[in-house]
Structure 1
Amino acid sequence: MATQTEKATLAGGCFWCIEAPMEELDGVREVTAGYAGGHTENPTYREVCTGDTGHAEVVQVEYDSERIAYEDLLDVFFTVHDPTQLNRQGPDVGTQYRSAVFTHNDDQQETAEAYVEALDAEGGYEDSVVTEIEPLDTFYEASEEHQNYYAKNPDDAYCTIHAQPKIEKVREKFAEKLAA
């Protein structure tokens, strides 16, 4: 019997810093770096980096919903980035680095909205959550050089400083959800 997979599309700064932690999770089949939320068709990395295309750097996570829930992906996503920073994450500044959840259906939309409401209600952050939640229009896959970037470049200074701590946080906080 074939397993049904679903997709989640998430933006939380540089896609390399979301891609690597998501790849750690049991039930995640594939993580693809790309772009969403903009107005330019088939944007390039250089175009997105200007901030003029309206796109965010995103990852599209294909997952087995019988092994990992959408809510679990949101838990990891909101753990590895700061959802209160408007149009930035760490050293990366611009709308292309915004925090966003691009939903694939009404259930994801409702779940993400309730998740953000709960985060704000918990008061765990000094500032309000600014994560955008909107239906996914179009996903554009980034070029091959940006796919599995951390796995191919673990000694890259950016990865060592920014992605590695996020991976370590996931390994520590979500040990029961890691792939074997």
Structure 2
Amino acid sequence: MSKNIQITTIGGGCFWCTEAVFQKVKGVEKVISGYAGGKVPGKPTYREICSGLTGHAEVIQITFNADVISFEDLLIIFMTTHDPTTLNRQGADKGTQYRSVIFYHDKHQQEIAAKVLKEVQQYYDTTIITEMSALPVFYEAEQEHQNYYKENTQQGYCSYVIEPKLSKLRKLHADKLK
């Protein structure tokens, strides 16, 4: 039996947070932390991204089975587990590298993303500023940024920043968890 495997690329602040959230979702087969949306040539490094000068966002690329979880459901989880109303910021993380962004892979994803953004706006008191654009080049982040939460659960950042997002995921989307 073949699977309906699709890929999407999103950014909701620090990629460690979004990676941890989506690794827990049914139908998600792989999550890769990386960078996209920059304006400088060549593969950027984490240090360059953190400077905010490259224009890249910290993103994750999700490989998922659309027969198990739809692209629309993934976006709803995304839009409700980070703050899509703050410009270039998630919590204490500030800069363009932490912007809320959906990099669609095709026209169908673009249409669904626009629909989801419109639908979830009613749940926020301020305007959603999530950027939406076609996926430029995706660069995989360095190995130490892959599976960060799984390998560093005792770190303070994981306890204070990632755990609340996972708690929100469990509260709002328990039916979608592995």
Q: Secondary structure at the match of 2:170?
A: helix
Q: Secondary structure at the match of 1:155?
A: coil
Q: How far apart are 1:4 and its partner, in Å?
A: 2.8
Q: How far apart are the structure 1 equivalents of 2:38 and 2:110?
A: 19
Q: How far apart are the structure 2 equivalents of 1:7 and 1:119?
A: 22
Counterparts of 1:63-74 in structure 2, within 5 Å, are 63-74=64-75
CA RMSD of superposed structures (Å): 0.9
Q: How far apart are the structure 1 equivalents of 2:112 and 2:61?
A: 17
Q: How far apart are 1:168 and its partner, in Å?
A: 1.6
Q: Which residue of 1 aligns with 2:79?
A: 78
Q: How far apart are the structure 2 equivalents of 1:164 and 1:76?
A: 15
Structure 2 alignment gaps of length 5 or more: none
* TM superposition score normalised by structure 1: 0.96
* TM superposition score normalised by structure 2: 0.97
Q: How far apart are the structure 2 equivalents of 1:88 and 1:147?
A: 21
Displacement over 3 Å in runs of 4+: none
Q: How far apart are 1:169 and its partner, in Å?
A: 1.4
Which one is further off, 3-12 or 29-38?
Answer: 3-12
One-letter amino acid of the counterpart of residue 127, structure 1:
T
Q: Which residue of 2 aligns with 1:135?
A: 134
Q: Secondary structure at the match of 2:73?
A: helix
Counterparts of 1:151-162 in structure 2, within 5 Å, are 151-162=150-161
Q: How far apart are the structure 1 equivalents of 2:73 and 2:167?
A: 17
Q: Secondary structure at the match of 1:134?
A: strand
One-letter amino acid of the counterpart of residue 52, structure 2:
G
One-letter amino acid of the counterpart of residue 159, structure 1:
C
Query: How many residues are aligned here?
Result: 177
One-letter amino acid of the counterpart of residue 52, structure 1:
L
Q: Is the 8 A contact 2:79 2:120 kept in 1?
A: no
